[in-house]
């Protein structure tokens, strides 16, 4: 089911955009980060994009429109072409879905969609790296590292926390991906997967991307990792605070429980998920001790315990909607 057309409106469009020439659309969701959004757009322009690549900016703040206005102004002076849309329904899944649907509707010769977030900076050769890995491996979906960069350099030690570390280290085929903040998706995936692509049930807790990847894998699509296609994710100081790290770790546990229940529906699946949660809780102290010794941080060592507790809390409907108040995220 496609989104209601009235929930997505066009805010601006580059003069001279030729939709029939576009093969790759870079989709860029934004919410109340106009200054960093411009930095992200500048990093995309530095890729040396050709006429076969366009950018779609999806502003999810229909009331403020700061991102939409900033992007529209940026396109007026950039050689890179693109479209700025407004996703009126709040939630990151709605924003992603609006951008992907727009790309499919606007560009008849589209072969791939790439995704970067508005708190990220594309590294040199980012898009080339993703495309090269897709061609080399034949993968339908290719992910890359989101390298954490704290605004306060004194906090760089927190980059060792599992919530910030990339899932893979080497380029090549991988079992599955987990994040949509740096990914390339081929047209056949989008053509086959049911709409909406990302389930709005995950709008404010996150995990819509992981759910999408699980369903894509079940449909027979394969995945790869491109170690050279890095983006730098700008992290505010609050993400090094215990309250944020605890909330994110608990949320990760809840999401893993939700996804497993979807994969194993019914009473038997629920029992299986609960048993796994108990097993993880039992193993958490020992796993946490190893992690704490490895990183030299007792706070980081709590991660496995927090994930296990998050899974158990989800059994009772206690799931932290960390994206409900984005200003505190």
pLDDT digits (tens, 9 = 90+) for 46-57: 999 999 999 999
The yes-or-no verdict on residue 5 having pLDDT over 60 is no
Q: What is the mean pLDDT of residues 24-31?
A: 98
The yes-or-no verdict on residue 300 having pLDDT over 70 is yes
Q: Is residue 78 located within the same domain as residue 140?
A: yes
Q: Is residue 98 located within the same domain as residue 161?
A: yes
Full-model pTM: 0.94
Kindly report, residue by residue over 196-217, the tens digit of the pLDDT. 999 999 999 999 999 999 999 9
Domain boundary (216, 236, 256) is at: 236
Q: Is residue 127 located within the same domain as residue 255?
A: no
Using left for φ > 0, alpha for ψ between -120 and 50, and beta otherwise, residue 172 falls in left
Kindly report, residue by residue over 147-190, the tens digit of the pLDDT. 999 989 899 999 999 999 999 999 999 999 999 999 999 999 99
Q: Looking at the 3D structure of the chain, how many domains does it have? A: 2
Q: Is residue 111 located within the same domain as residue 212?
A: yes
Domain boundary (236, 271, 296) is at: 236
Please state which of the ranges 124-128, 134-138, 279-283, 325-329 shows the lowest mean pLDDT. 325-329
> Are 133 and 222 a contacting pair, CB within 8 Å?
no
The yes-or-no verdict on residue 1 having pLDDT over 70 is no
Q: Is residue 100 located within the same domain as residue 116?
A: yes
The yes-or-no verdict on residue 3 having pLDDT over 60 is no
Domain boundary (211, 236, 261) is at: 236
Q: Is residue 290 located within the same domain as residue 308?
A: yes
CATH code of residue 229: 3.90.550.10
Q: Is residue 249 located within the same domain as residue 174?
A: no
**Predicted pLDDT of residue 328:** 63
Q: Is residue 53 located within the same domain as residue 179?
A: yes
Q: Is residue 251 located within the same domain as residue 230?
A: no
* Ordered strands of the 231-235 beta sheet: 120-122, 231-235, 146-150
Q: Which domain holds residue 163?
A: 5-236
């Amino acid at each position: 089911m496609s989104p209601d057309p009235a929930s997505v409106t066009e805010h601006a469009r580059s003069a001279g955009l030729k939709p029939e020439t576009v093969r790759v659309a870079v989709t860029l969701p934004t919410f109340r980060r106009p200054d960093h959004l411009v930095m992200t757009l500048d990093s995309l322009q530095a890729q040396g994009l050709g006429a076969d690549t366009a950018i779609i900016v999806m502003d999810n703040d229909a009331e403020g429109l700061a991102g939409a206005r900033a992007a529209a102004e940026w396109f007026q002076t950039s050689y890179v072409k693109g479209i700025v849309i407004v996703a009126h329904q709040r939630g990151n899944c709605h924003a992603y879905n609006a951008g992907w649907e727009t790309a499919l509707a606007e560009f008849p010769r589209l072969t791939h969609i790439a995704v970067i977030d508005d708190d990220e900076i594309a590294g040199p050769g980012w898009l080339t790296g993703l495309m090269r890995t897709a061609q080399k491996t034949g993968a339908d979906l290719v992910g890359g590292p989101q390298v954490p960069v704290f605004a306060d350099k004194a906090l760089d030690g927190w980059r060792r926390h599992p919530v910030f570390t990339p899932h893979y280290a080497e380029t090549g085929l991988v079992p599955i991906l987990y994040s949509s903040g740096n990914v390339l998706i081929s047209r056949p995936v989008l053509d086959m997967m049911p709409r909406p692509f990302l389930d709005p049930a995950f709008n404010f807790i996150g995990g819509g991307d992981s759910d999408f990847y699980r369903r894509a894998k079940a449909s027979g699509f394969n995945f790869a990792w491109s170690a050279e296609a890095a983006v730098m994710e700008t992290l505010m100081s609050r993400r090094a605070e215990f309250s944020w790290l605890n909330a994110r770790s608990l949320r990760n546990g809840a999401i893993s429980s939700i996804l497993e229940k979807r994969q194993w529906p019914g009473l038997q699946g629920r029992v299986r998920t609960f048993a796994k949660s108990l097993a993880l809780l039992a193993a958490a102290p020992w796993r946490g001790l190893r992690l704490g010794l490895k990183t030299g941080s007792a706070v980081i060592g709590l991660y496995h315990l927090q994930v296990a507790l998050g899974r158990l809390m989800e059994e009772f409907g206690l799931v932290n909607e960390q994206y409900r108040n984005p200003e505190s995220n």
